[in-house]
Structure 1
Amino acid sequence: MPVSMFGEARINRRTLLSALGAGAAVAAASPLLSGCSSSGGGSTSGGSVTSEDRLAGLLPSYTPIEYAAPDLPGVHGSVPGYTSYPAELVRAVTETPGTGGEVTAMTPAYWPLAPSDNAYHRAVNERLGAEVNFSVVNGSDYAARLNAQLAGGELPELTVIPDWDVPARFGEAVGGSFTDLTEYLQGDAVAAYPRLANIPTRAWAYCVWNDGLRAVPTPAGLFPLALYYRHDLFQEAGFVPPQSADDLYRLCTDITDPDAGRWACGNIFLEVKRMFSVPAEWSRDSAGNLIHESETEAFTEAVEFMARLFREGLVHPTVAGSTTGQEKELFESGALWLFSDGLGAWQEALARQLPSNPDFDMRPIPAFSHDGSDPVYYTQEAANLMTFISSDLPGERVEELLRILDFCAAPIGSEENYLINYGVEGQHSERDANGAPALTDLGSREITITYGFLAKPPYIVDQSQYPGYVEAMHAWEAEVAPFQVDKLTDGLRIEEPPRLTGLAQQLDDRLQDLLRGRTSVDELPSVVDGWRRDGGDELREFYAESLDEAGR
């Protein structure tokens, strides 16, 4: 897997909560949302808020850089595309970032670990001028390891934290555990690290706690997920993508044929909610009152629609019988034809399938809504991982570590970006006839996302080794970008009161029972009433105060 790819983990785990019911994995979901208060901020047992104005004053100045112009520029903020990999690469970092010695770092892994005797690491470390010693932790164990190390005060110099693994009450621990980077990166100070200055301002906002800039963000793409369909199988069957909810239902019934071993879909509730224009978590009604998504008529329609798909056997039985059904495998094998996942999942599937099935062709459903009106596509948080520098380091060491992160954040068109993603050309990767790099057997064994977790440039689409992929991804994003809608809480930070952070999981557990027919859909009003009694109304008051003071 080329290391620029990181599929479903690009979907914010809070977004996944409301549909996937991933049990223990989701129980570790981040308490972080967005919001603000005119207070300076802080973290207490009642939650924490940071003002919008204060955020703006803390963030680095944005200075974009470009080493290779995209073949397909972004549209309305959509991701730019590179239909061919740059033939000539620029050495962006001319001075050695490190001063020798060891740098300790902790990152997650969602794949088999690379061998410890690793020529890829040696090559990158040589350019860095430092030996980065990674503690790589299985992704399913990462939250527990992070909590243990925070509690014990035994942290590496660089700690990567995905947004879905941020511990509860993190704001109370962050000040004593990690360096305040404000003085190093605030405003024009970031100019000392040009590749970090290339990270959009919106992503930095997610790295502020307690009136301080505490981390370097990994910028995310514009949208969190898509509804994919098997374009190759649709063409064979003469099917076309839906343009309304009625179309989608009829399509699901036409696809499903248990005797032929095929079903319409997996659990596509996230996309069903989007189709019905369900607000993203919180919205204002006509009177200005704060309303949770579960309290809207659109949410009820979405639940009824998805429950019907389950009830009528249009969802693959493996998915219906488990909240962790193997949807990727079922979709790629043709056992189901519709599948919802993050945008990175597309090229990951191509990497798996094209070598043995060159006709494999998956694509996102074109823009549509439940009634044929203008659709809604909610944007995702601007960052999905953060890299923290441990506290109590001298200033010159912090600056060295920032130079290393700056190296890792070099964008496409640079030698540094190629090295991080594809290793040494001729050893870890080879270019095909069109110049697109692909990993060799050695590269496939040795290269996983390690340095790529420490820092990344803004998200792009550049996997030109898959014929037509870049063009199709760019076209879909350009089509849906005009319909993008930010969440009411977008771009600001709130830590929910710790006693209320489990509410989303509780609500999801009850919703899964409704969707899967274990309880009647008629019980939805009582489920929502229970959410209110269990703390939903208290959470509403907390958000209402923060959003009122923010003018939202």
Structure 2
Amino acid sequence: MDRRSLLKMIGAGALAVTAGGTLAGCGGGATKGAVGNSGKNLTPWPTYVPFAGPKPDLAPEAKFGIQAGYLNYPQHLATAVKDKVGDGSDVTAMVITYGTPPKPAEQNQLWAALNKALGVNLKLVLVPDAEFQKKMATVMASGDLPDIIMFGAGYYLSREQDFIQTQCADLSDLIGGDHVKAYPNLANIPAYSWQGMGRIGGKIYGIPTERPMPGNSLILNRTAMDSAGVPRDWNADQFLAGLKGYTSGKKYGIGASTSNFTGWASAAYHAGSFGAPNLWKVEGGKFIPTYETDQFRQALEFMTKLPYYPDSLTTSAVDMKSLFYNQTVASMTDGFGAYAGTAAKVKDFTFDFALPYGKNPTPWQGNGRFGYVVFKKAPTDRLKLLLRVCDYLAAPFGSTEYELCNFGVEGAHFTRGADGGIVTTELAKTENITNLPVKYIAAAPQVIYFPGNPEATKRLHQWERDTLPRSVADPSNGLRSATWSTSGAQLDKVIGDGLAAVIFGRKSVSEWDAIVKDWKAKGGAKAAEEYATEHAAA
């Protein structure tokens, strides 16, 4: 973005808040309920055309969402993009970041190579995750929009769908149904990811960043638990004993971050371990919140016994990962994507996702996406260019384009080992897609492959095999609720604040019912009715 636009955004940030009423003006005349899909003509989901890539070493199981696993890097790469992408113009994209600020494109070989391949001058506005809600609210209120805007990343913004419906481009006629075949790598995104993103008013407005079926879980220092004699397939008592046994001095059994407590994420692994339904239970056509179930209350009471890192409520997700890497904490609640970063960082101990510890667990599935991008309204030719940019960045594993987008330039960011696999260089420690997060504009559907770490691939594949067959979906995933669109951020805050208060001892478990009552009064009950209507229509 130009300097004036950036200064305008930063200046407006001093006034921005994320309360439910702040963005009321963003609706642009949208009527209440217009974001819903009940009674609308539904744009068909983009046709799924899978990429015929290299044969995996560990077979996928589509029925359960178990991914393909690769122990070694493919020896022969395909070409996924055959036509020219860009026209030499500037393309601005605003995405979340968990890394350090990258050097500018003229000093950054990775950025320069991507610009050359894309045929555009890609300008990134990078928003640290701790500032994401505030900065996004600022941009949405300003009307000064970049070409590509990312939503999601575990955050729900007030009036998110209203804003998108009125201020962003309807992509239905460009990627709905067979139209997506003009962008083969976007057609390779599986249906569950599009459905997890959902339609707005029957239309398709975005492109999802695919994530596999597992949802939030607990990543664990397996070496520490093995040393203490704690089994991999544990029960609740063994789980608690293992984490308490690790806690001593300046070491703690479990950690979380500020973003975990913006909603229910901090409780997902534990609620699933106790058999709680994934956010909602559908019974007799009604949506009943998981927060009212006995299983969720049992999980909450159990969480009050856990030895949490004391500053979890004020620690960023980035800093919490560092505390896990240096073994200050033995485990951390995080999303499925945390595994890949851990595989790249951890060398001194064995890590793994934890299996659920309950007798009849219901591990919670994710929503099939990390986030999604939408486009500023523009002429059709401009929208097609932006789609081509996304199509390139979504090139699948086993292609030369994927290699550039994920590992950089051979000889600069990586070399090839004796087995032909990727060996990252010193430059890749600073020039990578964590610090230059183009993967949040668009990305390939994930497979399980960790360069130079086939054992991590085997562990994750086995964890999926042990966990996913008994996992449960969120029945509201991809559905629309007018109430949730306007008040979802506030409702998530009620739950997140309530969880934090109970887990860290400021309130008792007996006060949880009052928290849920407040959540229902502020819109939770109305959202349940609207989800039930949408669910019946779907």
**Is the TM value for this pair above 0.5?**
yes
Equivalent residue in structure 1 for 2:394, among 384, 387, 409: 409
**C-alpha distance 183-340 of structure 1, shift in aligned 2 (>3 A):** same
1:435 paired with 2:432, answer no
Which residue is equivalent to 1:170?
A: 160
Once the two structures are superposed, residues 281-326 of structure 1 have per-residue CA deviations (whole angstroms, 9 ceiling, x without a partner) of 22134x55432112111112112211233xxxx334444x857696
User: How many Å separate the matches in 2 of 1:141 and 1:526?
Assistant: 30
> Who is 1:444 aligned against?
429
Stretches of structure 1 lacking an aligned partner (at least 5 in a row): 1-24, 30-41
Q: C-alpha displacement at 1:369, in angstroms?
A: 4.5
Could you report, residue by residue, the CA deviation over 1:454-483 in whole angstroms, capped at 9, with x for unpaired residues?
Answer: 211111111132241111111111221211
Show the 5 A alignment for 1:226-375. 226-253=217-244, 255-256=245-246, 258=248, 262-266=251-255, 269-285=267-283, 289-309=286-306, 314-319=307-312, 327-354=320-347, 357=348, 360-366=349-355, 368-371=356-359, 373=360, 375=361
From the superposition, tell whether residues 388 and 317 of structure 1 become closer, same or farther in structure 2 (CA, over 3 Å): closer
Larger deviation, residues 294-303 vs 133-142: 133-142
The one of 488, 507, 511 aligned to 1:523: 511
**Cα displacement (A) at 1:399:** 1.9
From the superposition, tell whether residues 497 and 226 of structure 1 become closer, same or farther in structure 2 (CA, over 3 Å): closer
Distance in 2 (alpha carbons) for counterparts of 1:166 and 1:292: 18
Deviation string, structure 1 residues 166-221 (Cα, Å, up to 9, x no partner): 53223333244322111111211111111111111222231522232112211111
Aligned with residue 94 of structure 2, among 103, 106, 115: 106
The structure-2 alpha-carbon separation of the partners of 1:323 and 1:441, relative to structure 1 and needing over 3 Å to count, comes to closer
Cα distance, 1:48 vs structure 2: 3.2
Q: Does 1:159 align with 2:152?
A: no
- Structure 2 gaps, min length 5: 1-15, 21-28, 257-265
Q: Which of 345, 359, 372 lines up with 1:386 in the alignment?
A: 372
State the aligned residue count: 498
1:478 aligns to what? 465
Q: Give the TM-score normalised by the residue count of structure 2.
A: 0.84
The verdict on how the C-alpha distance between 1:278 and 1:470 changes in structure 2, with shifts beyond 3 A counting, is same
Instruction: Report the Cα offset of residue 384 of structure 1.
Output: 2.2
Report the residue type matching 1:364 in the other structure.
F
Q: Supply the distance in 2 between the matched residues of 1:445 and 1:381 (Cα, whole angstroms).
A: 31
Q: Does 1:133 align with 2:123?
A: yes
- 2:33 & 2:475 partners in 1: Cα distance? 21
Are residues 1:202 and 2:192 paired? yes
Over residues 26-67 of structure 1, what are the superposed CA-to-partner deviations in whole Å (9 max), with x where a residue is unaligned? 9689xxxxxxxxxxxx95345731149844x43211110123
Residue 380 of structure 1 deviates from its aligned partner by: 0.8
**For residue 512 of structure 1, what is the aligned residue in structure 2?**
500
Write out aligned runs for 1:61-80 (5 A): 61-75=47-61, 76-80=64-68
Deviates more, 1:381-390 or 1:149-158: 149-158
Aligned-partner residue type, residue 290 of structure 2: E
**Shift in CA distance, 385/538, structure 1 to aligned 2, threshold 3 Å:** closer
TM-score of the aligned structures, taking structure 1 as reference length: 0.82
Paired AA for residue 53 in structure 2: Y
Partners of 1:47 and 1:494 within 8 A in 2: no
Q: Is the 8 A contact 1:162 1:385 kept in 2?
A: yes
Aligned to 1:492, which of 479, 501, 513?
479
CA deviation digits over 1:415-454, x for unaligned, max 9?
1110111111011211223332133222332333443222
Greater RCO, 1 or 2 (C-alpha within 8 Å, sep 6+): 1
Name the SS of the counterpart of 1:514 in structure 2. Answer: helix
2:210 to 219, 222, 235: 219
1:110 and 1:542 map into 2 onto residues whose CA distance is: 35
Residue 84 (structure 1) aligned to one of 69, 72, 77: 72
For residues 238 and 168 of structure 1, do their structure 2 counterparts lie closer, same or farther at Cα, with a shift above 3 Å needed? closer
Q: Which is worse superposed, 376-385 or 513-522?
A: 513-522
- The match for 2:103 is 115
